[in-house]
Amino acid sequence: MTTTDSNKAMPFEGLHEECGVFGMYDFDGGDVASSIYYGLFALQHRGQESCGIAVSETSGPKGKVTSYKGMGLVNEVFDGETLEKMRGDIGVGHVRYSTAGESTRENAQPLVLNYVKGTLALAHNGNLINAKELKKDLEYTGAIFQTTIDSEVIAYHIARERLQSKTAEEAVRRACMKLKGAYALVVASPRKLIGARDPFGFKPLCIGKRDNAYILASETCALDTIGAEFVRDVLPGEVVTITPEKGVESDMEMALPKEKEARCIFEYIYFARPDSHIDGVSVYGSRIKAGKFLAMDSPVEADLVTGVPESGNAAALGYSLQSGIPYGTAFVKNGYVGRTFIKPKQSSRESSVRIKLNVLKEAVAGKRVVMIDDSIVRGTTSDRIVRMLREAGATEVHVRISSPPFLWPCYFGTDIPEREQLIAYKRSIEDIRKIIGADSLGYLGMERLDEMVEGLSICRGCFNGKYPMEPPKEDIRGEYFDKEIDMAKKLERNL
Amino acid sequence: MTTTDSNKAMPFEGLHEECGVFGMYDFDGGDVASSIYYGLFALQHRGQESCGIAVSETSGPKGKVTSYKGMGLVNEVFDGETLEKMRGDIGVGHVRYSTAGESTRENAQPLVLNYVKGTLALAHNGNLINAKELKKDLEYTGAIFQTTIDSEVIAYHIARERLQSKTAEEAVRRACMKLKGAYALVVASPRKLIGARDPFGFKPLCIGKRDNAYILASETCALDTIGAEFVRDVLPGEVVTITPEKGVESDMEMALPKEKEARCIFEYIYFARPDSHIDGVSVYGSRIKAGKFLAMDSPVEADLVTGVPESGNAAALGYSLQSGIPYGTAFVKNGYVGRTFIKPKQSSRESSVRIKLNVLKEAVAGKRVVMIDDSIVRGTTSDRIVRMLREAGATEVHVRISSPPFLWPCYFGTDIPEREQLIAYKRSIEDIRKIIGADSLGYLGMERLDEMVEGLSICRGCFNGKYPMEPPKEDIRGEYFDKEIDMAKKLERNL
Amino acid sequence: MTTTDSNKAMPFEGLHEECGVFGMYDFDGGDVASSIYYGLFALQHRGQESCGIAVSETSGPKGKVTSYKGMGLVNEVFDGETLEKMRGDIGVGHVRYSTAGESTRENAQPLVLNYVKGTLALAHNGNLINAKELKKDLEYTGAIFQTTIDSEVIAYHIARERLQSKTAEEAVRRACMKLKGAYALVVASPRKLIGARDPFGFKPLCIGKRDNAYILASETCALDTIGAEFVRDVLPGEVVTITPEKGVESDMEMALPKEKEARCIFEYIYFARPDSHIDGVSVYGSRIKAGKFLAMDSPVEADLVTGVPESGNAAALGYSLQSGIPYGTAFVKNGYVGRTFIKPKQSSRESSVRIKLNVLKEAVAGKRVVMIDDSIVRGTTSDRIVRMLREAGATEVHVRISSPPFLWPCYFGTDIPEREQLIAYKRSIEDIRKIIGADSLGYLGMERLDEMVEGLSICRGCFNGKYPMEPPKEDIRGEYFDKEIDMAKKLERNL
Amino acid sequence: MTTTDSNKAMPFEGLHEECGVFGMYDFDGGDVASSIYYGLFALQHRGQESCGIAVSETSGPKGKVTSYKGMGLVNEVFDGETLEKMRGDIGVGHVRYSTAGESTRENAQPLVLNYVKGTLALAHNGNLINAKELKKDLEYTGAIFQTTIDSEVIAYHIARERLQSKTAEEAVRRACMKLKGAYALVVASPRKLIGARDPFGFKPLCIGKRDNAYILASETCALDTIGAEFVRDVLPGEVVTITPEKGVESDMEMALPKEKEARCIFEYIYFARPDSHIDGVSVYGSRIKAGKFLAMDSPVEADLVTGVPESGNAAALGYSLQSGIPYGTAFVKNGYVGRTFIKPKQSSRESSVRIKLNVLKEAVAGKRVVMIDDSIVRGTTSDRIVRMLREAGATEVHVRISSPPFLWPCYFGTDIPEREQLIAYKRSIEDIRKIIGADSLGYLGMERLDEMVEGLSICRGCFNGKYPMEPPKEDIRGEYFDKEIDMAKKLERNL
């Protein structure tokens, strides 16, 4: 069922898209669909709502694109027969996560379209803050919108800029220059694979190579999975064009000075897979460091350091390494909680947290436990997990958070609720500690972030309200923001 | 799986759409989705490939549209739960039939879109012959296309004309004036239900009323089914606008003189349900007449008149009434042959015709049979059916066809193959008779058509090559024309 | 979802099974699955609830059976890939209709089982009246039941009798001798195809041949569909065994004197397809005769004779032939009403009858109409159809029923509600005429039945309460009888 | 598609069932279906092939059972609507894992059946070694088999013994006394929940309680998940009967002396969830111990101890604790590999192992790594993982296995291939080390097993060929044994 709102009724659409993108072009003419499948599979943690693949044959009739998309996980949507039919040596894929209400097949990506120069297939990760204005402008010149995703706005701009551009890549760059916000784009034109990353570099995008094929992917783990080598990251503000004739060409026209870059720190803290490297920095390494800093800055005497799975584990190891307190597993996570899992009713004796996590009594009984988590949003889940540890016999529970407190909304794709719902909003650390029932509580200091990501320039908007660009005046997240999403959603991820 | 071709590779898209449209607006605010469901169900014979419904609440946030579509029959795509969720007092529905290769969910209708004035839901029956040029023009001003259906071209024009129009209906009319070809359109804007019929009146569209609700439908049988009264036909070239304030308003600006109208005669011959009336003429009545004319013009001594089910039955009754030869049922049709039926392999002992039809030996054995069919396209099926009658003991088989011979392609939505494949092309009636193995063969005379439809002005392009407008120079049906479709396809219909 | 009741709670299970069975054995070793598919397809009118096929290779490892079954129509349950995988030169198929509440996949047939001598696949049409006792007896010797269908009871008996029988066919016959009620059985053992028909011959079963393959089928129309020749009917009380060595062998040990046979007359009146012959009598011919008798016995002056589709059509032709009143089509039936059709709510403006049937005003306006139907059960539908004819302008409506009035329940598989719900129960014909609003009403006379089926011995239990065997004392139909089934259900059939 | 083989062709069926069972009886009459759902969800690691739930109302008509089962994970098979309809205060559930070819819906459990005393719902975990003989015997007294699972054999025995037993529990015990092999049974009769464990205690079964409801479950983690308290383990050889009148009753008639018990050690090594306790021993604790023993018995100088996820992690922690070598995570496992995952083709560049596992270069580069796994079956996966570590920069890779080498087949439910395929068969440890490419290799010593499970009596058949009962003479695993199952299958598990 699709619900389409006029932009009268809904100020801003397609918000808060954390997603994964993957593009591939095999210069030797081999089919890329199955490699895209495995690539998306490696990026599945970035989006479990829907996915899709679009491919075309560069040697075939110009611009014939075969695409398939659906709701669900990569291995639910695709079967061998479907992949088999998707012939093409160039293509893009997408996995989608959406916190907005618009969870429909219509909004699945890649977006495939005909325009003046043939066809385009486009996959996008990120969130535009001027999509509303852009949409209005487009509509005032006769555009129609069939989805509520930003990608359609981007596609229109590419199509329109194409009229005044010599090449597709020029059109992509000219379109990008009109966009404000976060985006990592992968575009397959009939003969070119084009990638673009916004000037702030909010979202990651990297280049890989396997034999005579080039890959663009949100994370390096997708390269490892398909046996490709990492070539380099696409730079913030860069547009790369991949063709058999010229290999990888770079256009840096819209790049900013390095110090203005504003990577999303949450890619390191929990979005990305730990085995990925983003802009030269190991995600795993940054988490280990965060844990070490916590041990230095918020030390405590304890018998066990443990992480809330999965994203807290690396920081817990770091804390252990620094503090000398033994690391251990305290939780067993049920890895089968999926998209279609039936949540217990309020009235029932079961609880969502207990179904997803169980405590290893042997590991914690009689021990003073340091429990590391990546963040606290509303605090309700933290409260329950602390209680579970105590019930299992932990004598003390010291909570350490591998990020600073959330105090501000994010407009660039990270799913953070309204300030009023943030536990840290207008509360002292001591207040929070009491609410979650911990014996002590420590957050990662803001000053540690630089070191954590080896000096890369990052966005700290959710911590200090200072955004790399003027945020929209009205709350663009509007009615679509789903207030139920929190730790529980994160717990459903397997990495 | 969707295959999207650039318009470079494919000269013309979305051809040969025989479809059914249905729109409803309940001024009392009642939900219309379930009535649209039953309306589409009555129009199911016009298209079994895909279907969809889009509704919105005129009292709700302006322009919120809920839509649902899918591949398959109305009762396969919709279930009670889905219908239940579709709240809205205004809406449109569509059933689609496509002979083109593009049988995909992306191409299902209604098309739902946001544009400068909010939302539109649009359902379309017909075929544009200038869609290619219109698309090119649109693309040269920055349009993107996500489907291969004409409806998207129409929607763009409405959106663009809306910028210079005072009202939605004006925009619809201005858009229509750019379209060449056949169309019956139903459009739901946030507060208006709009219907339009091309100036030639190729495709039917009528207005109905039930209590305080107005209906637009391809055929009157859909009105009967939901218990609505027939109000009148939408006239060729008319744009009607339905609002609670003004009821039904008419705009005849693009209407042609009556004698230029060019209704598709095949609506009467076999598309429409016999219980429908189109432009004041009973479909059943016109078939009865065709049969009577055949009896007058091609008389024969025989013991039994029978029709090839279902479309030949009424003409057979007419032949019987006129000739006095008893009417009888000679065939049993298996009504369960559906969309997903597995066709027998060439090598197997089963044949498609025998699976779908069986002869009643008791009815034909020892008899001279007049067998009435609505048309002969390639002749292969006729040949088999004649043989089946003989095997069942018919001593003579006289074939009468309730339409003139097909000699020319149709560009306006009727599925007729290339001239070279038409059995009547470059063949005498006697030649055809021999091929199909009949004892005699008679076609309806061209001169009878006027009388058959009570003097309505009709298109005879497929019989004499004289089209009401200049046909496109290149064969717009291109590679997409499916050469396998013929009688077999018609036999799958249940009416 | 399966609901299994203990036989404590439910006196009798698996009642009222009108079904279709089909078996095939290709002595040349060809695969039979696709022919079974087309055969079931021709028998689809006998059951739309579920279907299944089981095949095995007589040359393969003894007794390996591949089976597949599911809820829905033959073309919904099977696809090409599934059929392709079903290798085997011997097999059976089944289509199921059930009026009982137990509409589950567990109850789909064929039943496939391992027993002491290998495997059996079994398909059954009919209804046992001593199933309860048999089940009890079996349970008292340790049997377990996993379904609620009679076939499981039969299978157990075959398995048990096999221990004391020299051959499988002997075991089948010995088992049959314990069964009371109606059954037409097709059983595939590893090397034999066995058919059996109860001594009364309630249910039909015939033998066909195509090249070197033999077929057993509920109706001859299934033979025509797959291009097989009719060999002969299986006789009431006969067990036939089909092997490559001996062809068709007959065992008549349990046959009764001819005059004790008790065929279900409703096979002729409406169950069977008109193109079938049962025990030498044409179904179509018997309906024509019924119509002629009605014309003789209940003549009326009128302008048009018409049938309620589909089962009333042949009798209407007969009435017309006899009376000289012209035959005509007065109704258009929507052939797309399927299993998953959403029925209108009581509160809605739509009605089930109007959605399924529409009247051809042209055909009936201003005319005195004779409307032929095969039966009246509760009368509610008849009432609506008569009203529809009047609303369409019929000046008189004379109803003729091609069977005598229902007055008694059926225990042998025909779905007739409790006496209290039968319109004819404790009412005169005049009373009924008033209720349905007809100008006159005539039923087929009991004395005409013999002539109608050319002297075959038939069961008249539902008309006069005289059953060929003692009916069960308690009402075995118990709580499972679905009170909503009536004409509406019949109307959903396409033949 | 179901393939049923006669027992002529297939010596033994339904082998190698590792499964999870769950039963619940709420004395207060509350519905148990959703708690069973969550319980099965916690046992999902024991079987991902199919699952099912059967419930009934003890206050309702005696023996009405509602059941639902299907192929796939618990959250794929069940949705909220289905659960909602499953009313009942007593019920059983099952998750199935099968290495045999018979992966069909017919073989899904629970088995629901009618027998002389009403209905039974039965769920079974384990493998009988005399099923073939039992089946033969049953068939020789007229039994029929509709599945190829041992549960049907058990059900028959219960049904037959019931005739000579005063109570259902007596029938269960008498039936059990005829069974040879491994079984943990949960049976719901109309008014009783019965559990049974074979005398050797191969498979685990425990009792829990929540408010006034009793639970039987394969593992204690299922009790935690639904918020129930652990009461005690069902003892080897015990039959427990749970009724509102008498609570938990115990029947120890078939129990053996403690020293004859023969628990499957692989429940501790990798089947069970680490947060479960079996027979009083913590699974997690036993794995920690195994790791410690490895550190004592196979010490090595190294920089990092890591586990192959998930089952190697706890032993790795133990090794680290004992040796002082830091524990670390070296692998990222893709948790989204599911049942429907498309395996890469041999020819493709992707490999199954790399898709499922990636190495954290940061964690291992330049380090001497101790890699702990729970077992080596064929060695192919170990070889690849060792190579991945080296490619990631590990300078040394020392493999430690937390179990003794596999040398013999298992007849009691553990999926171990033929001896010829076991890497340890006829090879020295040094040979194996070379094959997998490790710098050193150490297995857990046989003598450590006792200590590992705190002196519980265990089965060591797969290590030393000494089985607690005479193994079947012919290889009962026959043709059905799937030779492709190995580490890859284990890796698909999430715990």
pLDDT band at C421 (very low <50, low <70, confident <90, very high): confident
Nearest to C336 among B75, B211, B284 (CB): B75
> Going edge to edge, which strands form the sheet with D192-197?
D111-115, D118-128, D181-189, D192-197, D239-243, D247-251
Residue D119 touches chain C, beta carbons under 8 Å: yes
* D118-168 per-position pLDDT tens digit: 999 999 999 999 999 999 999 998 899 998 889 999 999 999 999 999 999
Reported pTM? 0.89
Expressed in percent and rounded to 5, the helix, strand and coil fractions of chain D are 30, 25, 45
Is position A374 within any domain?
yes
Residue by residue, what is the 3-state secondary structure of A212-258?
CEEEEECCHHHHHHCCCEEEEECCCCCEEEEECCCEEEEECCCCCCH
Predicted local confidence at residue D22, as pLDDT: 98
Rounded to an integer, the average pLDDT of C237-243 is 98
Cα dihedral A310, A313, A315, A318, rounded to 10, equals -160
Which pLDDT band holds residue C231 (cuts at 50, 70, 90)? very high
B419 pLDDT above the threshold of 90: no
Tell me what the mean pLDDT of segment B448-474 comes to. Answer: 92
Q: For residue D267, is it within any domain? A: no
Say whether residue D82 is in contact with chain C using an 8 A CB cutoff: yes
Q: How far apart are CA B318 and CA B261, in angstroms?
A: 27
Range with the poorest average pLDDT among C80-84, C167-171, C276-280: C80-84
Site of tokens 């329940």? C409
With contacts defined as CB-CB under 8 Å, which chain D residues touch C5? 61, 63-65, 114, 119
Return the residue of D nearest to A275 by Cα: D360
Assess D323–A contact: CB distance below 8 Å, yes or no. Answer: no
* Sheet of B2-4, strands arranged across: A229-233, A206-210, A213-217, A17-26, A90-98, A50-56, A65-71, B2-4
Are residues C84 and C195 both part of a single domain?
Answer: yes
Chain B: give the shortest CA distance to residue C360, in Å: 5
Closest residue by Cα to residue A45 from A270, A263, A226, A229: A270
pLDDT at C25: 98
When mean pLDDT is compared across A20-34, C22-36, C339-353, the lowest value belongs to C339-353
Mean pLDDT in chain C? 89
Chain centroid offset of residue D134 CA: 24
Cα distances (Å, whole numbers) of residue A413 to A126, A237, B105, C180, C491: 6, 17, 29, 72, 56
User: Interhelix angle for D380-391 vs D429-436, to 10°?
Assistant: 50
Domain count, chain D: 2
Residue A310 to residues A320, A324, A372, Cα–Cα distance (Å): 16, 21, 11
Same domain? A319 vs A245:
no
Q: What is the CATH number of the domain that holds D354?
A: 3.40.50.2020
SS3 content of chain B, % helix, strand, coil (to 5): 30, 25, 45
* Average pLDDT for D377-390: 92
Q: Among D169, D494, D177, which residue's Cα sits nearest to residue D357? A: D494
Residues B313-332 pLDDT 10s = 999 999 999 999 999 999 99
B35: closest CA among B90, B72, B81?
A: B90
Helix, coil or strand: residue C75: helix
In whole angstroms, give the CA distance from residue A124 to residue A157: 14
Question: Do B342 and C37 make contact, defined as CB atoms within 8 angstroms?
Answer: yes
- Of residues A233 and C352, which shows the higher confidence score? A233
With an 8 Å Cβ cutoff, is A348 touching chain D?
A: yes
Give pLDDT tens digits for B424-434: 999 999 999 99
Q: Do D3 and C163 touch (CB under 8 A)?
A: no
Mutation for testing the B interface, residue in C275, C321, C389 having most B CBs under 10 Å: C275
Is the pLDDT confidence value at A475 over 80? no
Cβ proximity of B203 and B197 under 8 Å? yes
Q: How confident is the model at residue A9 (pLDDT cuts 50, 70, 90)?
A: very low
What is residue C8's predicted lDDT score, i.e. its pLDDT? Answer: 32
Position C5 scores a pLDDT of 47
Whether residue A336 and residue D494 make contact (CB cut-off 8 A), yes or no, is yes
Determine, yes or no, domain membership for A358.
yes
Give residue D15's pLDDT: 39
Q: Are A255 and A262 in contact (CB under 8 A)?
A: no
- Asked, for residue B159, whether it belongs to a domain, the answer is yes
pLDDT of B274-299, one tens digit each? Answer: 999 999 999 999 999 999 999 999 99
Q: What is the pLDDT of residue D12?
A: 32
Residues B201 and B89 in one domain: yes
Question: When comparing pLDDT for D299 and B494, which is higher?
Answer: D299
Between C38, C76, C495, which is nearest B350 by CB?
Answer: C38
Do the Cβ atoms of B145 and A112 come within 8 Å? no
Same domain as C318, residue C177? no
Tokens matching residue D461: 């058949």
- Measured between CA atoms, the residue of chain B closest to residue C30 is B348
Predicted local confidence at residue D478, as pLDDT: 36
Nearest residue to A72 via CA among A30, A103, A116: A103
Q: Inform me whether the pLDDT recorded for C482 exceeds 60.
A: no
In the predicted structure, residue D362 carries a pLDDT above the cut 60: yes
CA–CA separation, D219 and D230 (whole Å)? 10
Largest CA distance in chain B: 71
In angstroms, what separates the C-alpha of D193 from chain A's closest C-alpha? 21
CA distance C143 to D141: 10
For chain B, give the mean pLDDT. 89
Closest residue in C to D65 (Cα) is C4
Q: Is residue A374 part of an annotated ligand binding site?
A: yes
pLDDT digits (tens, 9 = 90+) for A410-455: 888 877 777 888 999 999 999 999 999 999 999 999 999 999 999 9
* Residue C17 pLDDT level (bands cut at 50, 70, 90): low
Cis-peptide, bond into residue A229, ω within 30° of zero: no
- Write down the mean pLDDT value for chain D: 89
pLDDT (tens digit, 9 = 90+) per residue, D207-221? 999 999 999 999 999
Instruction: Answer yes or no: is A100 within a domain.
Output: yes
Residue-number span of the structural domain to which C362 is assigned: 277-464
Chain D residues with CB under 8 Å of A337 CB are 41, 75
Distance CA A73, CA A96 (A): 9
> Region D79-107: what's the mean pLDDT?
82
Mean pLDDT of C246-265: 97
The response to whether A276 counts as a known ligand-binding position is no
Q: Is the pLDDT of residue B124 over 90?
A: yes
Is residue C478 predicted with pLDDT exceeding 60? no
| Mean of pLDDT values over B242-263 | 97
Subunit partners of chain C (3 or more CB pairs within 8 A): B, D
Query: Would the pLDDT of A135 be above 50?
Result: yes
Confidence of residue C4 (pLDDT cuts 50, 70, 90): low
| Same-domain check for residues B282 and B238 | no
pLDDT at D4: 53
Q: What's the CA gap between C134 and C475, in Å, rounded?
A: 17
Is there a contact between A319 and A384 (Cβ–Cβ < 8 Å)?
Answer: no
Q: Are residues A88 and A185 in the same domain?
A: yes
The reported pLDDT for the residue numbered B9 is: 28
Residue D103: pLDDT over 90: no
Lowest mean pLDDT across B92-101, C8-17, C234-243, D112-121: C8-17
What's the rounded mean pLDDT across residues C181-193? 96
Q: What is the mean pLDDT of residues A479-483?
A: 30
Is a pLDDT exceeding 80 seen at residue A347? no
Mean pLDDT of B305-312: 92
Residues of C belonging to the active site = 19
CATH number at A134 reads 3.60.20.10
Is residue C216 assigned to a domain? yes
Judge whether C204 lies within some domain: yes
Residue A14 reports pLDDT greater than 80: no
Chain B residues with CB-CB distance to C335 below 8 A: 335, 494-495
What b/e readout covers A263-301, taking b as 16+ CB neighbours within 10 angstroms?
A: bbbbbbbbbbbbbbbbbebbbbbbbbbbbbbbbeebbbe
For C138, the token pair is 């079996």
* D81 contacts chain A (CB < 8 A): no
Please give, rounded to a whole number of angstroms, the shortest distance from the CA of C119 to a CA of chain B: 28
User: What is the separation, in whole angstroms, between the first and last Cα of chain B?
Assistant: 30
Question: What pLDDT score was predicted for residue B220?
Answer: 98
**pLDDT, tens digit, 9 for 90 and up, residues A187-201:** 999 999 999 999 999
Q: A394 or D419: which carries more pLDDT confidence?
A: A394
* pLDDT exceeds 50 at position B157: yes
Give me the residues of D, 40-69, that contact C with CB < 8 A.
61-68
Binding-site residue ranges of C for Mg(2+):
311, 373-374
Tell whether B386 is covered by a domain. yes
At D488 the pLDDT is 33
Nearest to A285 by CA among A162, A52, A163, A454: A454
Residues A170 and A304 grouped into a single domain? no
Type of residue numbered D36: I
Residue D197 is predicted with a pLDDT of 98
Please give the structure tokens belonging to residue A135.
């949409």
Average pLDDT over residues D282-306: 98
**For the residues A462-473, what does the mean pLDDT come to?**
89
Distance CA D96, CA C14 (A): 30
User: Based on C-alpha coordinates, what's the Rg of chain C?
Assistant: 23
Residue D126 bridge partners (DSSP)? D183
Residues D234 and D345 in one domain: no
What amino acid positions of B are annotated as catalytic residues?
19
Question: Which residues on chain A are in Cβ contact (under 8 Å) with B148?
Answer: 114
Report pLDDT for B474.
56
Out of C2, C62, C143, closest to residue D67 by CB: C2
- Mean pLDDT along residues B124-129: 93
Mean pLDDT within A303-309:
96
pLDDT, tens only, A29-87: 999 999 999 999 999 999 988 999 999 999 877 668 999 999 889 998 999 889 999 99
Between CA B196 and CA B208 the distance in angstroms is 15
Helix H segments across A119-233? 131-139, 150-162, 168-176, 220-225
Q: Do A296 and A236 belong to one domain?
A: no
Q: Do C115 and D144 touch (CB under 8 A)?
A: yes
User: CA-based angle B470:B472:B476, to the nearest 5?
Assistant: 150
Assign 3-state DSSP to chain A and report helix, strand, coil percentages, each to 5.
30, 25, 45
Following DSSP, what letter does each residue of C244-287 receive, concatenated? TTTEEEEE-TTPPPGGG--EETHIIIIIS-TT-EETTEEHHHHH
Q: Is B87 exposed, middle or buried (0-12, 13-18, 19+ CB in 10 A)?
A: middle
pLDDT in tens, D418-457: 788 899 999 999 999 999 999 999 999 999 999 999 999 9
A442: its two tokens:
């420590």
Rounded to 10 deg, the angle between the A313-323 and A283-297 helix axes is 50
| Gap from B479 CA to chain C (nearest CA, Å) | 27
Which of B332, B337, B357, B453 has the most C C-beta neighbours within 10 Å, making it the best mutation to test the interface with C? B332
Quick: pLDDT tens for B357-384.
999 999 999 999 999 999 998 888 899 9
D283 neighbors D272 (Cβ within 8 angstroms): yes
CA dist., res. B440 & res. B418, Å (int): 26
Percent of chain D with pLDDT over 90: 74
In which band, very low, low, confident or very high, does the pLDDT at C493 lie, cut at 50, 70 and 90?
very low
Higher pLDDT pick, B93 / B491: B93
Give percent of chain D above pLDDT 70: 90
Query: Which pLDDT band, with edges at 50, 70 and 90, does C2 fall under?
Result: low
Find the CB nearest A62 among B2, B4, B8. Answer: B8
* pLDDT for res B63: 67
Which of C142, B77, C213 is CA-nearest to residue D156? C142
What distance in Å separates the CA atoms of residue D200 and residue D294, rounded to the nearest whole number? Answer: 28
The pLDDT of residue A327 is above 90: yes
Which residues of C375-472 form beta strands (DSSP E)? 396-401, 440-443, 458-459
Cis peptide before C391 (omega within 30 of 0): no
| Model confidence at A4: pLDDT above 60 | no
Residues C198 and C143 in one domain: yes
pLDDT tens per residue, range B59-90? 877 668 999 999 889 998 999 888 999 999 99
Q: Token pair for residue B15?
A: 């051809």
Task: Return all residues near A333 (Cβ < 8 A) that are at least 6 apart.
Answer: A309, A310, A356, A357, A491
> D323 and D252 in one domain?
no
Looking at the structure, do residues D291 and D200 belong to the same domain, yes or no?
no
Record: contact C86-D1, CB cut-off 8 A? yes
B136-154: average pLDDT: 91
Q: Which residue has the tokens 């220059």?
A: A177
CB B416 within 8 A of CB B431: no
Hey, are the CB atoms on A144 and B119 less than 8 Å from each other? no
**Residues of chain C numbered 146-175 and touching chain D (CB < 8 Å):** 146, 148, 152, 155-156, 159-160, 163
Block residue for tokens 């006496």: C419
Is C349 part of the contact surface with chain B (CB cutoff 8 Å)? Answer: yes
For residue C42, which residues of chain B lie inside 8 Å, CB to CB? 334, 355, 358
Under the banding of pLDDT at 50, 70 and 90, the label for residue A17 is: low
Q: Report the complex ipTM.
A: 0.89
Q: Closest partner residue to D8 among C3, C9, C62, by Cβ?
A: C62
CB pairs under 8 A between A and B: 172
Give the amino acid at C141. Answer: T
What percentage of chain C exceeds 70 in pLDDT? 90
Name the pLDDT band for B103 (thresholds 50, 70, 90). Answer: low
